[in-house]
Chains A and B, each alone.
Chain A
Amino acid sequence: MNNGDASGSAVISLRELGKVIGGKAILSNISVDIEPGSIVGLLGKNGAGKTSLIDVLLGFSPPSSGSSRVFGESSFNLPAATKGRIGFVPQQDELLDSLTGAQQLALNAALHPVWDEGLIARLIREWEVPLDRKIQVLSGGERQKLATLLALGHEPDLLVLDEPASSLDPVARRQFLRELLEIAESPTRTVLFSTHIVSDLERVASKVWIIRDGRLVWAGDLDTLKESVVRVTLLARDPVPANLSIDGAVSQRTDGRRAQLVLTDWRDARQRELADRFGADVTIERLGLEEIFLELHA
């Protein structure tokens, strides 16, 4: 599957990417690829650099250092044909308030050589998108649904969504997630979405990028992340030292014979290693993504 130098077939390929705005490093040294057919969830606190990263990789702003390529082309100089393969839903939609939903749809359809009327008709029905009212009177959720529709109509090979589900109710969010899964079912289509709704990401993402202070602190399989990060409790026969000096520990608390720590490079063999080293009973607790995220920010 992944043969080391995968950048040849990568949909998105970032190399030592950096972005400096007003003397401040917003993104630092980001190197990562996205393979076709994946759903990548981009997770980070407010201000961590999620939107800046999306801006650079879609070519809205140039990198300060390193490179960003989409379908093999430099992000900042994307040919029109490559742009046509991308669908984007920004955090702040760019709908025209004075149009009705139907008018906005017709406008966007006319801008693209390909437009999947069948898909759009189905989603209008399933998502209950109102078309006859002016966009200025639509709710936040209704606008978000409409903006997402507009990004799907031309059957993009790469769909990028910045906080796509933030205004949707739980039912609409579930429908939306189902649609993302459907899109990525095609092995040539790829989805990248940023979110702060961790449970959504946990459902549908196959890969996770965790960004902290402009740096990528994790980029890989969600399953692998969950298997690598665990909370370990040691119950030793004798008092344990205040600093356990254990490799890969992101946090640790000790109290007498008891110690609790979070490790980021767990292997089952470590359970015995730790038990032998500290003469302790060792129990491990697997962490959900939200807890992993909090621990990585501790």
Chain B
Amino acid sequence: MPPPPPPRIFTLEATSGVPIYRQLIDQVRRLVASGHLLPGAELPSVREVAAEYTVNPTTISKAYGLLELEGLVQRNRGKPMTIAPLRRNQQALAQRLRQIEAQVDSLVLAARQLDLRATDLTALIKQKMQEEYDEQR
């Protein structure tokens, strides 16, 4: 029996309106921003990701190519791709905020439809974040 495959690190939804390569880029960025993928961490190969998730390899290699251009991952001859050394100690705050902006946009829209005031919403967000961070500790 071959050893069981390692747990999946990505969540790729083929039926989502977001192309798979986009999902993969966003997830690698997030995993790096949150410190779950540290510099030097190996990424599964295009072939492995395509086989594991049964998705077309073109979209995976597109994601890896764009991540490489961005400087977030690096190609290593004959070895798996790795997370690149961080240029700054961590990704800039502005960049991390940009990654959550789309979710904030839809939240704001929902809040507007419910006639919520900004102060009410931020209070709730603050409370939820506190709970979440407490749980992790």
Q: How far is the CB of B13 from the nearest CB of chain A, in Å?
A: 9
Chain B interface mostly: helix
- Please choose the segment from B2-10, B57-65, B74-82, B115-123 that sits at the chain A interface, where 4 or more of its residues have CB less than 8 A away: B57-65
Q: Which residues of B contact A206 (CB under 8 A)?
A: 56, 58-59
The range of chain B's interface size is: 20 to 34
Judge whether A226 is part of the interface by a CB distance below 8 angstroms.
yes
Interchain Cβ contacts within 8 Å, total number: 65
Contact A226 B14 (CB under 8 A): no
Judge whether B132 is part of the interface by a CB distance below 8 angstroms.
no
Q: Which residues of A contact B58 (CB under 8 A)?
A: 38, 206
Q: How far is the CA of A285 from the CA of B18 in the complex (A)?
A: 9
Judge whether B17 is part of the interface by a CB distance below 8 angstroms.
yes
Judge whether B85 is part of the interface by a CB distance below 8 angstroms.
no
Q: How far is the CA of A222 from the CA of B18 in the complex (A)?
A: 11
- Please choose the segment from B27-35, B36-44, B47-55, B86-94 that sits at the chain A interface, where 4 or more of its residues have CB less than 8 A away: B47-55
Q: How far is the CA of A290 from the CA of B13 in the complex (A)?
A: 13
Number of interface residues, chain A, beta carbon within 8 A: 31
CB-CB nearest in chain B for A287:
B17
B residues apposed to A, CB below 8 Å = 14-22, 47, 50-51, 54-59, 62, 105-106, 109, 112
Given A185-B47, A185-B57, A289-B15, output 20 extra A-B contacts at Cβ < 8 Å.
A181-B50, A184-B56, A199-B14, A199-B15, A203-B56, A204-B54, A204-B55, A206-B56, A222-B59, A223-B21, A223-B22, A223-B59, A226-B19, A235-B109, A235-B112, A286-B16, A286-B17, A288-B15, A290-B15, A292-B17
* CB-based closest 4 A-B pairs: A286-B17, A223-B19, A206-B58, A203-B14
